[in-house]
Amino acid sequence: MSSDTIADIITSIRNADMNRKGRVRIESTNITEKIVQILLREGFIENVRKHQERNKSFLVLTLRHRRNWKRPYSLNLKRVSRPGLRIYSTYHRIPRILGGMGIVILSTSRGIMTDREARLERIGGEILCYIW
């Protein structure tokens, strides 16, 4: 684990998805819990449960796979802002991923939210990641 917890969860989810793993376990922090709740609400993952082990909390994510497709379903995640280079945006300039099919997760003054919620509340913030 590195000091960038958001990059760690994105990499863990991406690697589990590429290897067709059904579940992935990530360390539980306030930021990761909020990001996972957004992923669950938007339908990118199926289920989340909290697991306690030796005084540490973990989140066990059940990934969503589409088995009936000819092509394998892949979850694309991209970390945008990082500790060495922060990327900020006003609500006017928040990018639309695949014309609104994907989501942008932002860290705003009112908490972590999606691009749609930030546009409705008319606030900008730090662009954490893209998901499509």
Predicted pLDDT at 72: 52
Predicted pLDDT at 66: 57
Predicted pLDDT at 107: 98
| Dihedral sign, Cα of residue 2, residue 80, residue 57, residue 26 | negative
Range with the poorest average pLDDT among 3-12, 15-24, 28-37, 46-55 = 15-24
Each residue of 38-77: pLDDT tens digit? 999 999 999 999 999 999 999 999 998 755 555 556 789 9
Q: Are 9 and 32 in contact (CB under 8 A)?
A: yes
The domain spans of the chain are 5-131
Instruction: Using pLDDT thresholds of 50, 70 and 90, give the confidence band for residue 20.
Output: confident
- Does the pLDDT value for residue 132 go beyond 70? yes
pTM, 2 dp:
0.89
Tokens 């939210």, located at residue? 113
The chain-wide mean pLDDT, for the chain, equals: 91
* Fold of the CATH domain 5-131: Ribosomal Protein S8; Chain: A, domain 1 (3.30.1370)
Tokens 């749609």, located at residue? 116
- Does the pLDDT value for residue 124 go beyond 90? yes
Q: Are 7 and 82 in contact (CB under 8 A)?
A: yes
